[in-house]
């Protein structure tokens, strides 16, 4: 249910208190993320969340020449950060939530 995942993130993004709570929960423990989503009235699987981010990131896992030169030059582009976040999220169980913002993952 992509609309559930989108609704969840829209709700968090629009409320500073919810965003702070999401940051406190973090992104590494799916059961905590799932419980938080249910608390807000949303229900979706880890796979649905993963699919949502895969769709959002598109081919962000593939760095272009500009991204590569930025990383080699000591700076990191937003695309490179998104790619690293996406790869980090699927390592292991594919149940972790990936980061779409800099910082704590929310």
pLDDT digits (tens, 9 = 90+) for 14-50: 999 999 999 999 888 889 999 999 999 999 998 998 8
Cα distance between residue 74 and residue 104, in whole Å: 22
Q: Is this structure's pTM higher than 0.75?
A: no
Residue 89, burial from CB neighbour count under 10 angstroms (0-12, 13-18, 19+): buried
- Within 13 Å, how many C-alpha atoms sit on residue 48's CB side? 15
Q: Which two tokens stand for residue 104?
A: 């704590």
CA distance 23 to 59: 26
> For the chain, what are the domain ranges?
2-90
Distances (CA, A) of 102 to 30, 34, 63, 81, 105: 19, 21, 18, 8, 7
Return the pLDDT at 70: 63
pLDDT at 96: 41
């Amino acid at each position: 249910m992509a609309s559930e995942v989108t609704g969840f993130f829209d709700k968090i993004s629009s409320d500073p208190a919810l965003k702070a709570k999401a940051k406190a929960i973090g992104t590494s423990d799916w059961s905590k993320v799932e419980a938080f989503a249910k608390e807000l009235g949303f229900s979706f699987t880890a796979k649905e969340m993963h699919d949502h981010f895969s769709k959002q990131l598109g081919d962000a896992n593939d760095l272009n020449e500009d991204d590569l030169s930025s990383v080699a030059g000591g700076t990191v582009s937003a695309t490179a950060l998104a790619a690293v976040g996406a790869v980090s999220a699927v390592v292991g169980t594919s149940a972790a939530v990936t980061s779409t913002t800099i910082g704590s993952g929310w």
